[in-house]
Amino acid sequence: MMIKEPAIERKNPLWELATEYLSHLQFERRLSNNTLYAYNHDLKKYINFMYNELQLMSIDSIQSAHIEKFVNELSDAPKMDNKEGIKKSSSIHRLFSTIRGFHQYLCQLRITKNDPSQLLVPPRLTRSIPTTLLVEEVNQIIQSVDLNKKYALRDQAILSMLYASGLRVTELVDLKLKNLMMDEGLIRVFGKGGKERIVPFGKRALTFLKLYLKEVRPSNSKKGKSQGILFLNHRGGKLTRMSIWNILHENTLRAGITKKVSPHVLRHSFATHLLEGGADLRSVQEMLGHSDITTTQIYTNIDKIYLKEIHKEFHPRG
Protein backbone atom coordinates (compact mmCIF):
# COMPACT_ATOMS: atom_id res chain seq x y z
CA MET A 1 0.00 0.00 0.00
CA MET A 2 1.54 3.32 -1.06
CA ILE A 3 1.01 6.47 0.96
CA LYS A 4 0.30 9.28 -1.46
CA GLU A 5 0.25 13.02 -0.98
CA PRO A 6 -3.28 13.58 0.30
CA ALA A 7 -6.12 15.56 -1.16
CA ILE A 8 -7.87 16.38 2.11
CA GLU A 9 -11.66 16.50 2.04
CA ARG A 10 -13.18 19.66 3.47
CA LYS A 11 -15.55 17.78 5.79
CA ASN A 12 -12.89 15.38 7.05
CA PRO A 13 -13.33 15.62 10.87
CA LEU A 14 -9.77 14.48 11.51
CA TRP A 15 -8.36 17.22 9.30
CA GLU A 16 -10.47 19.83 11.08
CA LEU A 17 -8.70 18.86 14.33
CA ALA A 18 -5.34 18.91 12.59
CA THR A 19 -6.08 22.42 11.29
CA GLU A 20 -6.80 23.59 14.85
CA TYR A 21 -3.45 22.13 15.96
CA LEU A 22 -1.59 23.86 13.13
CA SER A 23 -3.20 27.18 14.10
CA HIS A 24 -2.05 26.59 17.68
CA LEU A 25 1.51 26.02 16.47
CA GLN A 26 1.42 29.13 14.30
CA PHE A 27 -0.20 31.69 16.56
CA GLU A 28 0.48 30.46 20.09
CA ARG A 29 3.79 28.65 19.80
CA ARG A 30 4.90 30.94 16.94
CA LEU A 31 6.82 28.30 15.01
CA SER A 32 8.69 29.32 11.87
CA ASN A 33 7.12 28.99 8.41
CA ASN A 34 9.51 26.17 7.49
CA THR A 35 8.64 24.20 10.63
CA LEU A 36 4.92 24.77 10.05
CA TYR A 37 5.31 23.50 6.49
CA ALA A 38 6.90 20.30 7.80
CA TYR A 39 4.12 19.77 10.38
CA ASN A 40 1.46 20.42 7.74
CA HIS A 41 3.09 17.97 5.33
CA ASP A 42 3.34 15.24 7.98
CA LEU A 43 -0.19 15.69 9.29
CA LYS A 44 -1.68 15.53 5.79
CA LYS A 45 -0.03 12.17 5.21
CA TYR A 46 -1.13 10.91 8.61
CA ILE A 47 -4.75 12.08 8.35
CA ASN A 48 -5.05 10.83 4.79
CA PHE A 49 -3.91 7.36 5.82
CA MET A 50 -6.20 7.16 8.86
CA TYR A 51 -9.26 8.53 7.10
CA ASN A 52 -8.98 7.24 3.54
CA GLU A 53 -6.94 4.06 3.90
CA LEU A 54 -8.12 2.76 7.28
CA GLN A 55 -11.60 4.37 7.15
CA LEU A 56 -11.27 5.83 10.65
CA MET A 57 -13.79 8.64 11.03
CA SER A 58 -13.08 9.91 14.56
CA ILE A 59 -10.02 10.68 16.63
CA ASP A 60 -11.09 8.19 19.32
CA SER A 61 -11.02 5.35 16.81
CA ILE A 62 -7.27 5.70 16.22
CA GLN A 63 -5.21 3.15 18.15
CA SER A 64 -1.49 2.49 18.56
CA ALA A 65 -1.63 -0.33 16.03
CA HIS A 66 -2.98 2.06 13.40
CA ILE A 67 -0.07 4.46 13.91
CA GLU A 68 2.40 1.57 13.76
CA LYS A 69 0.83 0.48 10.47
CA PHE A 70 1.19 4.00 9.09
CA VAL A 71 4.86 4.23 10.08
CA ASN A 72 5.57 0.75 8.69
CA GLU A 73 4.06 1.76 5.36
CA LEU A 74 6.41 4.73 5.22
CA SER A 75 9.40 2.63 6.25
CA ASP A 76 8.69 0.08 3.51
CA ALA A 77 8.21 2.72 0.82
CA PRO A 78 11.05 2.68 -1.73
CA LYS A 79 11.53 6.42 -1.47
CA MET A 80 9.87 9.11 0.60
CA ASP A 81 8.48 12.20 -1.05
CA ASN A 82 11.19 14.41 0.30
CA LYS A 83 11.88 17.75 -1.35
CA GLU A 84 14.08 18.92 1.52
CA GLY A 85 16.67 16.17 1.15
CA ILE A 86 16.17 14.82 4.67
CA LYS A 87 17.10 11.17 5.18
CA LYS A 88 14.29 8.65 5.61
CA SER A 89 15.16 7.87 9.25
CA SER A 90 15.10 11.57 10.11
CA SER A 91 11.76 12.05 8.34
CA ILE A 92 10.16 9.14 10.19
CA HIS A 93 11.52 10.40 13.50
CA ARG A 94 10.01 13.81 12.72
CA LEU A 95 6.69 12.11 11.89
CA PHE A 96 6.66 10.51 15.33
CA SER A 97 7.20 13.91 16.91
CA THR A 98 4.40 15.47 14.83
CA ILE A 99 1.92 12.70 15.62
CA ARG A 100 2.72 12.75 19.33
CA GLY A 101 2.37 16.51 19.53
CA PHE A 102 -0.97 16.35 17.74
CA HIS A 103 -2.48 13.74 20.06
CA GLN A 104 -1.06 15.36 23.20
CA TYR A 105 -2.64 18.66 22.14
CA LEU A 106 -6.05 17.01 21.72
CA CYS A 107 -5.75 15.38 25.17
CA GLN A 108 -4.78 18.68 26.79
CA LEU A 109 -7.91 20.29 25.33
CA ARG A 110 -9.95 17.25 26.46
CA ILE A 111 -11.17 16.69 22.94
CA THR A 112 -10.19 13.07 23.54
CA LYS A 113 -9.01 11.02 26.51
CA ASN A 114 -7.11 8.60 24.32
CA ASP A 115 -3.48 9.15 23.29
CA PRO A 116 -2.57 6.24 21.02
CA SER A 117 0.94 7.61 20.46
CA GLN A 118 1.90 7.53 24.14
CA LEU A 119 3.42 4.04 24.26
CA LEU A 120 5.03 4.08 20.82
CA VAL A 121 8.82 4.09 20.65
CA PRO A 122 10.29 6.28 17.89
CA PRO A 123 13.10 4.87 15.76
CA ARG A 124 16.59 5.60 16.99
CA LEU A 125 17.91 8.64 15.18
CA THR A 126 21.47 8.21 13.98
CA ARG A 127 23.20 11.53 13.44
CA SER A 128 25.56 11.79 10.53
CA ILE A 129 28.65 13.94 10.81
CA PRO A 130 27.96 17.14 8.86
CA THR A 131 30.19 18.26 6.00
CA THR A 132 32.55 21.11 6.84
CA LEU A 133 35.02 23.23 4.90
CA LEU A 134 38.59 24.16 5.70
CA VAL A 135 39.21 27.85 6.45
CA GLU A 136 41.15 28.03 3.18
CA GLU A 137 38.19 26.62 1.25
CA VAL A 138 35.82 29.20 2.74
CA ASN A 139 38.23 31.97 1.73
CA GLN A 140 38.50 30.53 -1.78
CA ILE A 141 34.71 30.63 -2.20
CA ILE A 142 34.44 34.25 -1.04
CA GLN A 143 37.38 35.32 -3.19
CA SER A 144 35.95 33.53 -6.23
CA VAL A 145 33.11 36.04 -6.60
CA ASP A 146 33.43 37.68 -10.02
CA LEU A 147 33.97 41.36 -9.19
CA ASN A 148 32.89 42.33 -12.72
CA LYS A 149 29.33 41.29 -11.91
CA LYS A 150 26.82 43.90 -10.81
CA TYR A 151 26.01 42.28 -7.46
CA ALA A 152 29.50 41.01 -6.63
CA LEU A 153 29.82 43.15 -3.48
CA ARG A 154 26.43 41.95 -2.26
CA ASP A 155 27.36 38.30 -2.86
CA GLN A 156 30.68 38.67 -1.06
CA ALA A 157 28.88 40.26 1.89
CA ILE A 158 26.33 37.43 1.97
CA LEU A 159 28.93 34.65 1.86
CA SER A 160 31.10 36.39 4.44
CA MET A 161 28.14 36.93 6.77
CA LEU A 162 27.00 33.29 6.54
CA TYR A 163 30.41 32.03 7.58
CA ALA A 164 31.26 34.78 10.06
CA SER A 165 28.00 34.52 12.02
CA GLY A 166 26.79 30.93 11.49
CA LEU A 167 23.31 32.13 10.53
CA ARG A 168 20.69 29.83 9.08
CA VAL A 169 19.81 30.84 5.53
CA THR A 170 16.29 31.91 6.60
CA GLU A 171 17.77 34.09 9.33
CA LEU A 172 20.06 35.72 6.77
CA VAL A 173 17.33 36.60 4.24
CA ASP A 174 15.16 38.01 7.04
CA LEU A 175 17.89 40.31 8.41
CA LYS A 176 16.95 43.98 8.49
CA LEU A 177 19.07 47.11 8.64
CA LYS A 178 17.78 47.80 12.14
CA ASN A 179 19.21 44.43 13.25
CA LEU A 180 22.75 45.69 12.61
CA MET A 181 24.91 47.07 15.41
CA MET A 182 27.79 48.11 13.18
CA ASP A 183 29.90 49.87 15.80
CA GLU A 184 29.89 46.79 18.03
CA GLY A 185 30.20 44.30 15.14
CA LEU A 186 27.00 42.56 16.26
CA ILE A 187 23.67 41.57 14.74
CA ARG A 188 20.34 40.88 16.38
CA VAL A 189 18.95 37.61 15.00
CA PHE A 190 15.48 36.15 15.32
CA GLY A 191 15.74 32.39 15.00
CA LYS A 192 13.39 29.44 15.31
CA GLY A 193 10.24 30.24 17.25
CA GLY A 194 11.10 33.95 17.14
CA LYS A 195 13.88 33.50 19.71
CA GLU A 196 16.22 36.46 19.77
CA ARG A 197 19.99 36.23 20.06
CA ILE A 198 22.97 38.55 19.56
CA VAL A 199 25.74 37.28 17.27
CA PRO A 200 29.14 38.85 16.45
CA PHE A 201 30.29 38.77 12.83
CA GLY A 202 33.90 39.98 12.79
CA LYS A 203 35.99 42.59 10.98
CA ARG A 204 36.32 40.90 7.58
CA ALA A 205 32.58 40.43 7.17
CA LEU A 206 32.08 44.01 8.37
CA THR A 207 34.40 45.25 5.60
CA PHE A 208 32.38 43.44 2.90
CA LEU A 209 29.12 44.60 4.48
CA LYS A 210 30.15 48.27 4.49
CA LEU A 211 31.10 48.09 0.81
CA TYR A 212 27.72 46.55 -0.06
CA LEU A 213 25.82 49.16 1.96
CA LYS A 214 27.73 51.98 0.31
CA GLU A 215 27.95 50.80 -3.32
CA VAL A 216 25.02 48.49 -4.03
CA ARG A 217 22.09 48.63 -1.64
CA PRO A 218 21.16 52.34 -2.01
CA SER A 219 20.24 51.99 -5.70
CA ASN A 220 18.20 48.84 -5.05
CA SER A 221 16.36 50.27 -2.07
CA LYS A 222 15.10 53.16 -4.24
CA LYS A 223 12.78 50.69 -5.97
CA GLY A 224 10.59 50.89 -2.88
CA LYS A 225 10.23 47.21 -1.99
CA SER A 226 12.99 46.78 0.58
CA GLN A 227 10.87 47.04 3.77
CA GLY A 228 14.15 47.54 5.60
CA ILE A 229 15.58 44.18 4.52
CA LEU A 230 19.39 44.11 4.50
CA PHE A 231 20.18 41.98 1.44
CA LEU A 232 18.09 42.87 -1.62
CA ASN A 233 17.51 41.29 -5.03
CA HIS A 234 17.63 43.19 -8.34
CA ARG A 235 13.99 44.23 -7.90
CA GLY A 236 14.71 45.79 -4.52
CA GLY A 237 12.90 43.06 -2.56
CA LYS A 238 13.95 40.27 -0.22
CA LEU A 239 16.12 37.48 -1.59
CA THR A 240 14.78 33.95 -1.50
CA ARG A 241 16.51 31.02 0.19
CA MET A 242 17.11 29.51 -3.26
CA SER A 243 18.88 32.70 -4.37
CA ILE A 244 21.37 32.27 -1.52
CA TRP A 245 21.89 28.62 -2.50
CA ASN A 246 22.55 29.67 -6.10
CA ILE A 247 25.05 32.37 -5.09
CA LEU A 248 26.95 29.86 -2.96
CA HIS A 249 26.79 27.09 -5.57
CA GLU A 250 28.06 29.32 -8.37
CA ASN A 251 31.07 30.50 -6.39
CA THR A 252 31.85 27.07 -4.98
CA LEU A 253 32.18 25.83 -8.57
CA ARG A 254 34.32 28.86 -9.46
CA ALA A 255 36.58 28.03 -6.50
CA GLY A 256 37.07 24.49 -7.83
CA ILE A 257 35.68 22.86 -4.68
CA THR A 258 34.01 19.51 -5.33
CA LYS A 259 32.33 19.05 -1.94
CA LYS A 260 28.56 19.47 -1.75
CA VAL A 261 28.36 22.92 -0.20
CA SER A 262 25.13 24.43 1.12
CA PRO A 263 24.54 27.47 3.35
CA HIS A 264 24.25 25.03 6.26
CA VAL A 265 27.75 23.73 5.48
CA LEU A 266 29.03 27.25 6.16
CA ARG A 267 27.12 27.15 9.46
CA HIS A 268 28.72 23.80 10.30
CA SER A 269 32.13 25.19 9.40
CA PHE A 270 31.55 28.26 11.58
CA ALA A 271 30.85 26.07 14.63
CA THR A 272 33.63 23.59 13.96
CA HIS A 273 36.28 26.26 13.47
CA LEU A 274 35.24 28.04 16.67
CA LEU A 275 35.57 24.85 18.71
CA GLU A 276 38.87 23.96 17.05
CA GLY A 277 40.10 27.42 18.01
CA GLY A 278 39.24 26.84 21.68
CA ALA A 279 35.74 28.32 22.04
CA ASP A 280 33.63 26.75 24.77
CA LEU A 281 30.56 24.73 23.86
CA ARG A 282 28.07 26.99 25.66
CA SER A 283 29.21 30.06 23.74
CA VAL A 284 28.92 28.24 20.41
CA GLN A 285 25.46 27.00 21.42
CA GLU A 286 24.40 30.59 22.11
CA MET A 287 25.74 31.87 18.79
CA LEU A 288 24.07 29.07 16.81
CA GLY A 289 20.76 29.53 18.62
CA HIS A 290 20.49 25.88 19.67
CA SER A 291 17.94 25.34 22.43
CA ASP A 292 19.58 22.03 23.41
CA ILE A 293 23.35 21.76 23.90
CA THR A 294 23.31 18.14 22.66
CA THR A 295 22.66 19.56 19.19
CA THR A 296 25.85 21.59 19.46
CA GLN A 297 27.87 18.65 20.79
CA ILE A 298 27.89 17.01 17.36
CA TYR A 299 30.64 19.48 16.42
CA THR A 300 32.90 18.13 19.16
CA ASN A 301 32.58 14.74 17.45
CA ILE A 302 33.82 16.28 14.19
CA ASP A 303 36.90 17.52 16.01
CA LYS A 304 37.54 14.07 17.51
CA ILE A 305 37.29 12.41 14.11
CA TYR A 306 39.75 14.95 12.70
CA LEU A 307 42.20 14.25 15.52
CA LYS A 308 41.94 10.49 14.92
CA GLU A 309 42.71 10.99 11.25
CA ILE A 310 45.76 13.10 12.08
CA HIS A 311 46.96 10.49 14.57
CA LYS A 312 46.50 7.65 12.09
CA GLU A 313 48.35 9.52 9.35
CA PHE A 314 51.32 10.81 11.32
CA HIS A 315 51.83 8.55 14.35
CA PRO A 316 54.58 5.96 13.67
CA ARG A 317 52.38 3.14 14.97
CA GLY A 318 49.05 4.54 13.79
Q: 142: closest CA among 206, 212, 205, 186?
A: 205
Looking at 41, 154, 168, 273, which residue is catalytic? Answer: 168
**What is residue 289's DSSP assignment?**
T
What pLDDT is recorded for position 314? 55
Q: Which residues of 108-137 are buried (b: 16+ CB within 10 A; e: fewer)?
A: eeeeeeebbbeeeeeeeeeeeebebbeeeb
To the query of whether residue 264 is one of the catalytic residues in this protein, the response is yes
| Torsion from C-alpha of 193, 194, 197, 203, nearest 10 degrees | 110
Q: What is the arithmetic mean of pLDDT over 54-75?
A: 91
Q: Mean pLDDT lowest for which of 8-17, 27-36, 201-210, 211-220?
A: 8-17
For the chain, the structural domain boundaries read: 13-108, 135-314
What pLDDT is recorded for position 293? 78
To the query of whether residue 168 is one of the catalytic residues in this protein, the response is yes
Sorted by sequence, the CB contacts under 8 Å of residue 311 that are 6+ apart come out as 318
Confidence of residue 313 (pLDDT cuts 50, 70, 90): low
To the query of whether residue 197 is one of the catalytic residues in this protein, the response is no
To the query of whether residue 299 is one of the catalytic residues in this protein, the response is yes
What pLDDT is recorded for position 3? 44
Sequence letter at residue 194: G
> Helix or strand or coil: residue 116?
coil
Is 80 exceeded by the pLDDT of residue 85? no
Same topology between domain 13-108 and domain 135-314: no
Looking at 94, 192, 225, 249, which residue is catalytic? Answer: 192
Task: Give CATH superfamily name and number for 135-314.
Answer: Intergrase catalytic core (1.10.443.10)
What pLDDT is recorded for position 4? 46
To the query of whether residue 312 is one of the catalytic residues in this protein, the response is no
Is 70 exceeded by the pLDDT of residue 254? yes
Concatenated DSSP letters for 227-285? TTBSSB-TTSSBPPHHHHHHHHHHHHHHTT--S---HHHHHHHHHHHHHHTT--HHHHH
To the query of whether residue 267 is one of the catalytic residues in this protein, the response is yes
pTM of this structure: 0.64
* Interval 176-186: pLDDT, tens: 999 999 999 99
* Interval 232-250: pLDDT, tens: 999 999 999 999 999 999 9
Contact between 229 and 210 under an 8 Å Cβ cutoff? The reply is no
Q: Residues, the chain, total? A: 318
Contact between 103 and 239 under an 8 Å Cβ cutoff? The reply is no
Domain range 13-108, its CATH number among 1.10.3470, 1.10.150, 3.30.420, 1.10.3930: 1.10.150
| Torsion from C-alpha of 227, 230, 233, 235, nearest 10 degrees | 30
Q: 198: closest CA among 74, 113, 283?
A: 283
Looking at 100, 197, 225, 264, which residue is catalytic? Answer: 264
Is 80 exceeded by the pLDDT of residue 10? no
Q: Mean pLDDT lowest for which of 73-87, 119-133, 182-196, 267-281?
A: 73-87
